[in-house]
């Protein structure tokens, strides 16, 4: 399962929020390892590179799920 499916954010191509917020940089190739991708959204806020967003990711229900590939 990809992060946009798990989180239901609508930021995948043609998703419900893609027209207003843009397509997530994790789409389409990094949906199971989104923490490694710079510029993803968390709570509507653009996150930086992995080193600066790791603390936020560690609190993410997708990151801690069995769907995230480490």
In the chain, domain spans: 3-58
CA angle 22, 51, 16 (to 5 degrees): 20
List C-alpha distances in Å: 14 to 25, 48, 58, 69.
Answer: 14, 24, 28, 24
pTM of the model: 0.89
**pLDDT (tens digit, 9 = 90+) per residue, 12-42?**
999 999 999 999 999 999 999 999 999 999 8
- DSSP-assigned letters across all residues of 16-32: TTHHHH---TTTTT-TT
Distance CA 53, CA 39 (A): 10
């Amino acid at each position: 399962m990809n992060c946009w499916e798990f989180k239901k954010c609508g930021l995948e191509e043609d998703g419900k929020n893609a027209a207003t917020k843009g397509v997530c940089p994790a789409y389409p190739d990094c949906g199971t390892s989104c923490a490694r991708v710079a510029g993803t959204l968390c709570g509507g806020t653009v996150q930086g590179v992995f080193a600066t967003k790791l603390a936020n990711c560690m609190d993410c229900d997708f990151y801690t799920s069995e769907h995230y590939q480490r």
